[in-house]
Amino acid sequence: MPNPAILTVDDDPAVSRAVARDLRRRYGDRYRVVRADSAEAALEALRELKLRGEQVAVLIADYRMPQMNGIEFLEAAMDLFPAARRVLLTAYADTDAAINAINVVDLDHYLLKPWHPPEEKLYPVLDQLLAAWTASAATAAAELRVVGHRWSAPSFKARDFLARNLVPFRWVLADEPEGAELLAAAGVTANDVPLVVTADGKSLVQPTTADLAAQVGLATTPAADFYDLVVVGAGPAGLGAAVYGASEGLRTVLIERRATGGQAGQSSRIENYLGFPDGVSGAQLTDRARRQALRFGAELLSAREVVSLEDAGAARVLRFADGSSVAAHTVVLATGVSYRMLPAPGLAELTGRGCFYGSVASEAPSCSGEDVYIVGGANSAGQAAVHFSRYARRVHLLIRGDDLTRSMSSYLIEQIARIDTIEVHPHTEVVGGAGQEHLEEVTLRDTRTGETRRVDTSWLFVFIGAEPHTDWLDGAVARDDRGFVLTGPDLTRGGRRPAGWALPRDPYHLESSMPGVFAAGDVRAESVKRVASAVGEGAMAVSLVHRYLEAQ
């Protein structure tokens, strides 16, 4: 494989040559320096690198460029190489722009021009960024290749797991020459996909998510048997609890069965989150929070499913699906919710083959020039509609109500109204789906007249309902009739404490019916379903954890 690339873009030819010269002088033996004279040319170079399966370590962009400035370029480049470190070149007068870029593109550093001598003002910065990039788990798996069929649900599951965990990989179709060669080398056929081939040539045939996690460097085994705090679920609430718990000295482990970020991590852009005036993608926000939690010393376990919670005196024991366990003084339940499955006939067998639950950002480029149907009227559906409108010929937003005002934020409604390629269909539901190898058509029904019609499409994304993943808590903590965890005042209605409660006090505000076990975010009954409130509850839960520990 070629050396990783450092890409630099500046529309001033003299500056562009000087940047490339200084970079080659220091890093030319280990990195390939790619120079572009416009943002458009730089993006085209990045697309070619992506298609060839090559790596990009650092992106360096000048702020003042025509048509597309440096911040806009870095934001677009993040979709292609999210793990690359990002540097903005600015004049002294443009430092406000650099500060703005910290919010918009999670900027790693900004450099004032000119920076001479580079030994003092350029190389130390680049050395640090390159070391951080090299040490990341993502770069260790940058040469990963996934071989599969376009409409294979197991192949989609593997790609989705890697993409949501920000692990770079190259997708190879099984019927392409390279795919056939890799299958033959592994001694398997096209019926055995997905095949995952590592950089050192190791072949994984139909790997589980745990196999993939271990292979790409994600931790799957706890480093200790006992902790101060175990957080179950790495969505916004869980990440918030892990950051605050670890930063305040608690031995903290965060357990996630799929990918960090939860539903919020799949959002193409969250525009009403405090502190990000230009919005932030779910992936960016998740990556920041994950790195922050790790920096404070929290452990993060991936692809581990918790199947039971037990009260063991002063300890709380969590058991995994493989029979192993971990114990702690306290637990924060932050497992969030899942989108409800559409009951329409024909769709269950097409899940992952044209019918998807949630926004699968990795699929958006494949929708180019086609019609996409999105079911749901809340913010997540609106964000997905805006995102897919950049690729699809037309986006059809299907809602059961009269309009979007009951369930969607006004800023999103206004955005959707301005995009000509998005069409909202009120009083519409999906009542059927059909296809051979993949989804080929869906049947729509007008809820007022009962009239049905069939439409041709290979893309259906569903954002309806919210079902908590709490079956594993049956008999351990009290839940409401929909499965959400009851906490605090909801447990003491009528002046009675929950059954089995032995402490001489009422449950704390976020505390469940098992003392020392707290719930935060969407999994908690009557919670506000917003990213900011989930993060706040995660932080609040840690405050209550301290109060609980002090009383023991």
Read off the pLDDT of residues 77-87 as tens digits, 9 standing for 90 and up.
887 788 899 99
Pairing of strands 170-173, 337-338: unpaired
Higher pLDDT, 256 or 160: 256
Q: Among the listed ranges 138-142, 190-194, 543-547, which one has the minimum average pLDDT value? A: 138-142
| CA dihedral sign of residues 327, 486, 479, 378 | negative
- Can you spell out the DSSP letters for 51-84? HTT--EEEEEEES--SSS-HHHHHHHHHHH-TTS
Residue 12 has pLDDT above 50, yes or no: yes
Using an 8 Å Cβ cutoff, are 425 and 395 in contact?
Answer: no
Q: How far apart are the first and last CA of the chain?
A: 57
Secondary structure element (H or E) that encloses residue 331, with its range: strand 325-333
Phi, psi of 197 (to 5 degrees): -110, 125
Show the tokens assigned to 551.
């009383």
What's the CA angle centered on 70, arms 67 and 74, to 5 degrees? 110
Residue 113: per-residue pLDDT:
75
Residue 93: per-residue pLDDT:
56
What's the CA angle centered on 152, arms 148 and 154, to 5 degrees? 85
Nearest Cα neighbor of 378 from 353, 338, 405 is: 405
Three-class secondary structure of residue 113 per DSSP: coil
Higher pLDDT, 480 or 69: 480
191: left (phi over 0), alpha (psi -120 to 50) or beta: alpha
Burial of 35 (0-12, 13-18, 19+ CB in 10 A): buried
Distance CA 383, CA 364 (A): 13
Greatest CA separation found in the chain?
A: 77
Domains and CATH numbers, the chain: 5-138 (3.40.50.2300), 145-215 (3.40.30.10), 226-338+467-551 (3.50.50.60), 347-464 (3.50.50.60)
Distance CA 159, CA 169 (A): 8
Distance CA 128, CA 132 (A): 6
Confidence of residue 141 (pLDDT cuts 50, 70, 90): very low
Q: Among the listed ranges 13-22, 443-452, 505-514, which one has the minimum average pLDDT value? A: 13-22
Encoded amino acid at 73, one letter: F
Pairing of strands 203-205, 170-173: unpaired
Query: For all residues of the chain together, what is the average pLDDT?
Result: 90
Pairing of strands 170-173, 355-357: unpaired
Residue 374 has pLDDT above 70, yes or no: yes
Nearest Cα neighbor of 19 from 38, 35, 3, 4 is: 35
Confidence of residue 137 (pLDDT cuts 50, 70, 90): very low
Phi, psi of 377 (to 5 degrees): -125, 10
